[in-house]
Each structure stands twice: as structure tokens, then as C-alpha cells.
Amino acid sequence: MKKNIVIFDTTLRDGEQCPGASLNTNEKVEIARRLESLNVDVIEAGFPIASPGDFEGVQAVASAVKNCTIAGLARAVKKDIDRVWEAVKYSDRPRIHTFIATSPVHMQYKLQLAPEEVMEQAIEAVKHARNLCPEVEFSAEDATRSEKSFLYKICEQAIKAGATIINIPDTVGYAQPEEFGQLIRGIKENVSNIEKAVISVHCHNDLGLAVANSLEAIKNGAVQVECTINGIGERAGNASLEEIVMALKTREDIYHKSTKINTKQIYFTSKLVSRLTGFVIQPNKAIVGKNAFSHEAGIHQAGILKERTTYEIMTPQSIGLESNELVLGKHSGRHAFQDKLEKMGYSLDREQLNQAFTSFKKLADTKKEIFVEDLEAIISEEITEQIPVLYTLDYFHVNTGNSTLPTATVRLLYKGEHLVDASCGDGPVDASFKAIDRITGAKVELVDYNIRAITRGKDAQGEASVKIKNNGDIFSGRNISTDTLEASVRAYLKAINKLMYKNNR
């Protein structure tokens, strides 16, 4: 019988820690609900002690999600653990995840503690967490660079103190697959009470081996893997959820393990995370990249036409991606539209459905062909909960040309009042952004801007992504439109609204 591997998703905690990926509470809840549809076992929703916003986000996820364990991260410190419990206690299945570093370099330079002090702090932290919560996970940070005898001992003592999950992180992505597998096997063989706990792994991708190390750990006894959507995370990122899941599914003959993941939701989850974090998925990204199921070479195309399995080891449909065009257009009815959304994994209330259908009809009037990517973009744009909007775009006009100084006039609606200003710039986009700055009084630095086609054809929709910085904080905005300049202006305005919302709070 195949044994299930527990999928622990830390997109909302480790994934959000990478620069520029900050999510507000509504965005966290939106992703968490999508992870619930994906059927992950555990959602690590954040690091509650880090900020009031992070605490609010974890608490909101714990209240909104019913079918997953909800975890929060805490240092091995009482105040951290108490803060996690205050956030996750609203979940039907709460978990406290506490950690302390165990490698010589971390203990000496970061913690400035002797090994005996680290051991004592870990034991006390786990005991305190277990008094609050029935499910406690203990992580030995930088485990792969720890002395094995000390690692075995601290795992043993953590289990004795009440830990039900022992997590072995390759915190800096240092381990090699065979080496990491041997470490997991060593823990199974040398921690006397390990049968009372689940062995978990958390691998980083600094050497590009996070997924390989996670899979090797599974072969050697790990039952839980910690991963993120699209592999986002600190530095080079984490083990990619979609790659681990599809490797286990595609190569059952090697691993003899399975997961509860609804793989048909992978594509849409990946796209949602990409949009809300502002991190574009590289075209050659395994499983979910734009080119993952594309074939250009003639010999490949010939092979695919004769027999799909010549060059495809999994189908696009297995991850929720349709290879065929979406047969919907301006004459399509609400019933067909709703049916298609349900097959994509979206469950909309009446108001959301009406809003999305109106946007769909508007787009269908401007595009000859509607693809599944168009529909996914509409839903992601329209039904994702947004922060309160202070400034609304009412009108913009741009004058530009190869011998004309680009000038933009923008009119915004603010509390029922029309505000108008104009500005020159290096180009039409720059001029528009500067006009918005003049109206709103925002003092920001544009740190990232990109525009890309998200669908096919001459009338493809363009997605604009913008990141701005103010006092060290980064705010992102996204918008889609067949008019890329309009998408850019609206994306910038969304980022400005996020900044204003934070300042007003």
C-alpha cells in the first residue's frame, strides 16, 4: 500500500519572506483558500511575532480555512509561542511550529549560546507550546551543518518534551541528495523515540537541489515535506510544491508514495501566487512554466502528433492546464461561463459571478478569441479581495511620439472629488506615473515594472506588474487589459492605494 506524504505549504510564511513578496491580509486569505482547494495538508500562514499585519494574516487564515492544519512559526521563545497560539487557536486544526538553530556556526555567532543552553531553550519551548496546542512541530535550524550527535540528542529531547513533528531543515541549501538522505536515515536509526513523531524536511534551493533533496529524504523515511508554490522563498527559494507532487505522481514506480493534492488545481494556484506576489514564473519552470508543455522542434512536434508520450511524461490536463482553446465568446451564456469556472476550481457567490461575467463580456467584445488564460486572468483580477480604494482612475490621456515630449494628463476620483494633474516624462508610462504622484502626493521609488502578454493572438491581454518603495516598504500592483498603457496606469495606482492604506492605518 502506498503511504501518503504530508504536504506542508509555507508559501505564506517562507515564500512571503523573499523581498518584494509582501502580501496583505486579504491576499493571504485568497491564497490560503486556493491552497485548501489544492488539498494541501498543512498551511504555514506566517510568523505572527514579526508584525501586527503578519499576526492579523495568520489569524484570518486560521478563521477562514477549515480543511487544513494551520501553523504559525515561532522562535523558541515564550512570547513568540504565545503570539502564535493567539493567532492559530481559531483553526479547527492548529499547530505551533517552533525552531532554534543547532549548527555550531549559528549557535556561536547568531545565538551566542552554548549547546547546553540551546538544548534547554528548545526543551522549554516545546513544553510550553505543547501546554497550549496538541500539535507541536520542532525545527532544528541549519540541521545539515549540525553535529549529528547533538542533532540526534536535541530531536530526542524535543519529542520527549511533546513535539509531534521533527523538522530537519537544509536551511542554506548546502546538502547533496545522497548526504541528505543519509542524514534522515541516521535520525531514524539513532533517535530512540523517533517512532513517536513524524519526520519532516524543509529544503532550500541555493544549489538548485531542494526538490532532489526532498525526494531523497522521502526515500529514506521523511513523511512530511515543506515546500512552496513556484518554489518562492528566501534567497534562491524553497523546494517547489508542484515539482515534488508531480515527481511522486509521475514516478510512483520509484517512490511508492502518494499525496492528497488535487493536481488539477496546480496551474491555477501557481498563477494566483505569481500574480499576488508579483513574481513572474520563468518560462522554462518545471510543471507550471509557459514552455513546460510547448513543443517547437519539428522532430518533437512530429513525435507528439503520432504519440503524446514520446515527449510528454504528464499531460497538461493533469495540472489543470487546457491545451485546447477555451470555447467561450461574446454569445456565451452565464450558465456555460459558471460551469467553466467550476471546472477550473472557482466557487463564486452571485455577486462575484455577476462581476466576473460582466468583465468577461466586456473582454469578449474586444477579443476575437477567448482562451483559458484570459478567463483565469479575469477571475484573478476581479474576485481577489482588495484593500479599500482611495483613488480611482477616471480618465487619462497621453501625448507622445518620436519627436514629441511625452506628456500625460490624469484625472482621479478621490472621496467624490475629481483631481487632475499633468506631467512630462521619459515615456508615456513614466509621464503617467509622475502625474499620479503629483495628484496623490506620494513620494515613492519605482523598483520594478514589467509588462507581458498573458494570452495569445494580436489582441492578447497584457499584464502590468509594478513595485514601488516607500520608507523601506515595498508595495505591488497588477492589472490586466488589452491596452498595456491602461494596465500600467491602473497597476501603479493599485500600488499607490496600498501605500495610502498602510499610511492611513
How confident is the model over 385-429, as pLDDT tens digits?
Answer: 456 789 999 999 999 988 889 999 999 999 999 999 999 999 999
In a domain, 317, yes or no: yes
**295 pLDDT higher than 70:** no
How far lies 432's CA from each of 136, 395, 480, in Å? 51, 11, 17
Based on the fold, state whether residues 125 and 43 are members of the same structural domain.
yes
Quick one: 20 and 116 in the same domain? yes
User: What's the CATH number where 469 sits?
Assistant: 3.30.160.270
Helix then strand count (H, E) for the chain reads: 17, 16
> Do 7 and 153 fall into the same domain?
yes
Domain count of the chain? 4
Task: Give me the sign of the Cα torsion angle 157, 158, 164, 166.
Answer: negative
Mean pLDDT, residues 87-93? 98
Residues 206 and 347 occupy one common structural domain:
no
236-287 per-position pLDDT tens digit = 999 999 999 999 999 999 999 999 999 999 999 999 999 888 888 998 999 9
Tell me, yes or no, whether 140 and 205 share the same domain: yes
For residue 63, give its domain range.
3-277
Label residue 291 by pLDDT band (50, 70, 90): confident
Q: Please provide the average confidence, as pLDDT, over all residues in the chain.
A: 90
Close Cβ partners of 81 (under 8 Å, ≥ 6 residues apart): 74, 96, 98, 125, 128, 129, 132
Backbone angles phi, psi at 476, to 5 degrees: -115, 155
**Residue 433 and residue 299 in one domain:** no
Task: Identify whether the C-beta of residue 265 lies closer than 8 Å to the C-beta of residue 34.
Answer: yes
- Three-class SS state of 204: strand
The whole model's pTM is what? 0.76
Instruction: Say which residues have a Cβ less than 8 Å from residue 266's Cβ, sequence separation at least 6.
Output: 38, 242, 245, 246, 287, 288, 319, 320
Asked whether residue 333 falls in the same domain as residue 314, the answer is: no
* The C-alpha cell that represents 29 in the structure block: 486569505
Check whether residue 101 and residue 154 sit in a common domain: yes
| DSSP output for 405-472 | EEEEEEEEEETTEEEEEEEE-SSHHHHHHHHHHHHHT---EEEEEEEEE-S-STT--EEEEEEEEETT
Which pLDDT value is given to residue 324?
A: 42
352/437 same-domain check: no
Same domain, 32 and 49: yes
Q: What confidence tier does 94 reach under pLDDT thresholds 50, 70, 90?
A: very high
* CA dist list (Å): 107 to 9, 110, 113, 115, 117: 27, 6, 6, 7, 10
pLDDT of residue 472: 80
Three cell numbers, residue 230: 513556484
| 94 inside domain | yes
Residues 6+ apart with CB under 8 A from 156: 191, 192, 193, 194
Please identify, among 277, 305, 340, the residue that sits at the C-terminal boundary of a domain.
Answer: 277
Identify residue 353 by its one-letter amino acid code: L
